Every structure is written in C-alpha cells, then in structure tokens.
Amino acid sequence: MRTAAAYLRFSSDNQVGGESIEYQLEEVSKYADANGLTLDESHIYVDEAKTGKNTHRDSFQRCLANAKGKPKPFDTLLIYNYSRLCRNQDEFALIQAQLRKLGVELISATQPNLGGLEGKLLTSVLTWMDEFHSVQIGAYAHAGQKQVAQRGYSAGGKAPYGYRLVYEDDPSGKLDHKGNPVRHGTYEIVEDAAAVVLRVFEMYAQGGTMKGIVVSLNAEGIPSPGGSTWSISAVRTILHNQAYAGDYVWNQTRRNKAARTVEKKSRDEWVTVTDAHPAIVSRDLFDVVKKRLEKRTPNASYVRRKYLLSGLLQCASCGGNFVVNKRGKNGDAYYCCTRHSNRGNGVCDNGRTYLEHAPRTRS
Ligand SMILES: [Zn+2]
C-alpha cells in the first residue's frame, strides 16, 4: 500500500477561497481513503497565513527535507489543490522537479490527476490560472491603496526624511472585519530633520547650488537621510519632493523588478492630495525652488555612456570610485572621484581629474 504525506496551506489573501486547514485535511483524507492510500499522520505539513506569492513556506521546506529520509517515509504528496502549493508556473515546475527527483508523486485531491502529456498540459493550465488569479489580487490591492491615497493617507512605503509615519483611526469610525478601528498612516514632522529640510530649501531658493548645500551640511557633520554624508542626489531628492509642501503624492513610480530599476509613471496615474499633512516649507518657498529647478539646463540631451575605465579606478585618498562626471566643452571626458564631486571636499579632498584618451563605447 502506498503511503502519503499531506501538505496544507491556508493563505491570508483568501479572496481565492480560504478553505480552512480542517476542510483541506478532510478532503485530502477522503481522497486517500477512496484511492487506497495510507495518509501518515506524522507527515501532515501545514503552513498558515503566508501568501502564496512567496516561497518561504517553512513546513513545505520541512516536507521536502523529510522526503529525503531513508527508508523513504512517503511516496505520495497529497495537496488540496495546486493553488495551495504555489502561485506561478516557474515555482510549480521547480517543486515538481524536486518531488520527481525524490520519487514522490504529487496528487491534487480536488483536481484531475492525469498521467502523460495530457496531465502535464492540464496541470500547466491550472497553475497558469492560479498565477493569473494572483496577478488579479495584486490589482485589487492596488485599487485599495488608491482609495487610501485619494484620502491623503499613506498607501505604503516609508515617510520621507523630515517626517515619521503615525497611525490614526479612520475619522468615520470605520471598523475592520475583526471589529477594530480601521487605522491610516499619515506624516508627522520630525523637528530636527525638518529643520534641515527647510534649510536646504532656503539655501537653494537664495541661489545656493546643490553642491554648495552638500558641502555645508557635510562640513557641519549633519547626517544625511541615509545616515552617512550628504550627496547631490540626496539634496536633489529633497528639493523635488512635493511632500514638504504638505501634499501627498502617490503612484509616481513603478518598480521594474526584472531590470531592477524604478520608472516614472505618467502624470495621469499619480494621485495628488494637497495639504494632506503638515508642511515643512511654505507653498511660496516650494514654488520658488520649483521654478529654479525647472530653469536648470535639462538633462534630456545627456547620453549615458559607458567609459572604459569606469568602476575600475579607485581614489587614492578615499577609496571611492573614479568615474567620468566632468565633461569639457569639446566633449572631452574627465575621470574624477565620485565622493569628491558629489559629497564635497569635506568627504574627499582629492580634486584631481584625468582626461580620458581611450576610445569609448555607447551603451
Ligand atoms: Zn576620493
């Protein structure tokens, strides 16, 4: 007689159908009885309230580890359905391969189990449907976040430098499904950091350069938002952030996971709520800075090039990278220390530049 283990999972994103563990176990046991399998009670693996999207399911990992035991503890793994096991095809293929290697047959108690090509096609369609469902749930979540954002509350993510995220009860007294008040995140001012933000805006509005601001902040030993020294990009990020005028802006960017980049979304996808939280800079000051930022020569013509020695040279003073970030009028490229040029003399005083003679390639 064949011996079976069971893997049961209850997920919190149960729009998919939150069949309880008890119910799943019942169905799996029924299947075992009807098909002449012995369900070994010491090999029932349960993962609870973990999203189907991630693969770190401890009990499932334990199940795989135990399946390697000798003598073999079970030759069949019963599941309630494929979506209990995984939510995408790649993961499913991986799990199937792992189980096959271990000589364990995977059986769904509630879906057809066919051998051969038909079976492969069918499980492939079933897992594809689960994956589609998972993407749909992502879309629901996005719609929910949008509703929160439209009311000026934080729809996720950290508060910008100068603020902290605090939670308050929904003003309408709304309760969640457990009867607790629904809470929303909003920004509260952090005095010390807010004073730095205000200074950055004032210095820039009075004609200071980003580099000049970086140099003064570093000279005073004020830690950057990331806790290290200030860089031009940190200052630029602050100057562009509308949150400091009291507005909440959501959905400006999209993370491209594959390319590991962040892309700007088109403006009509943004959600902007004015005066959503206390402002750090006045609307007038923000507008003065905005005008000045817009006047700067746009970077549109800037072509990202790859330079032969980028990332290979190191600064003798600070160990930072030497990259091309100075260019002469005739297009000549100069290597210099990034820490010197972005963070100022206080961080690295090596101001030497080297003209590039090597041929360059366009990326
Ligand atoms: Zn350096």
What does the pLDDT look like over 124-162, one tens digit per residue?
A: 777 777 777 777 777 778 888 888 899 999 988 889 999
For the chain, what percent of residues have pLDDT higher than 90? 39
Q: Is residue 108 part of a domain?
A: yes
Among candidate residues 295, 315, 337, the one where a domain is terminated: 295
Query: How far, in Å, is the centroid of ligand 1 from the Cα of 351?
Result: 8
Query: How far, in Å, is the centroid of ligand 1 from the Cα of 196?
Result: 26
50 — pLDDT class (breaks 50, 70, 90): low
Q: Which helix (H) or strand (E) holds 9?
A: strand 2-10
Query: How far, in Å, is the centroid of ligand 1 from the Cα of 37?
Result: 69
What's the per-residue H, E or C state across the chain? CEEEEEEEEECCCHHHCCCCHHHHHHHHHHHHHHCCEEEEEEEEEEEECCCCCCCCCHHHHHHHHHHCCCCCCCCEEEECCHHHHCCCHHHHHHHHHHHHHCCCEEEECCCCCCCHHHHHHHHHHHHHHHHHHHHHHHHHHHHHHHHHHHCCCECCCCCCCCEEEEEEECCCCCECCCCCECEEEEEEECHHHHHHHHHHHHHHHCCCCHHHHHHHHHHCCCCCCCCCCCCHHHHHHHHHCHHHHCCEEECCEEEECCCCEEEECCHHHCEEECCCCCCCCCHHHHHHHHHHHHHCCCHHHCCCEECCCCCCEECCCCCCEEEEEEECCCCCEEEEEHHHHHHCCCCCCCCCCEECCCCCEEC
Distance CA 28, CA 74 (A): 15
Least confident of 17-21, 35-39, 136-140, 171-175: 17-21
Give me the pLDDT at residue 78, please: 94
Q: Is residue 16 part of a domain?
A: yes
Distance CA 347, CA 216 (A): 11
Give me the pLDDT at residue 30, please: 92
Least confident of 29-43, 85-99, 240-254, 333-347: 85-99
Among candidate residues 87, 113, 132, the one where a domain is terminated: 132
127 and 225 part of one domain: no
42 and 116 part of one domain: yes
Distance CA 28, CA 34 (A): 10
Among candidate residues 253, 271, 295, the one where a domain is terminated: 295
Q: Is residue 216 part of a domain?
A: yes
Give me the pLDDT at residue 56, please: 63
- pLDDT of 98-121, one tens digit each? 888 888 988 888 887 766 777 777
Query: How far, in Å, is the centroid of ligand 1 from the Cα of 337?
Result: 5
Query: How far, in Å, is the centroid of ligand 1 from the Cα of 352?
Result: 9
Query: How far, in Å, is the centroid of ligand 1 from the Cα of 226?
Result: 20
Query: How far, in Å, is the centroid of ligand 1 from the Cα of 217?
Result: 18
Q: Which helix (H) or strand (E) holds 256?
A: strand 253-256
7 and 118 part of one domain: yes
194 and 273 part of one domain: yes
Residue ranges making up the domain that contains 319? 305-363
Give me the pLDDT at residue 13, please: 56
What does pTM read for this prediction?
Answer: 0.60
8 and 128 part of one domain: yes
Query: How far, in Å, is the centroid of ligand 1 from the Cα of 347?
Result: 8
Least confident of 12-16, 82-86, 144-148, 290-294: 12-16
Mean pLDDT, the chain, whole residue set: 84
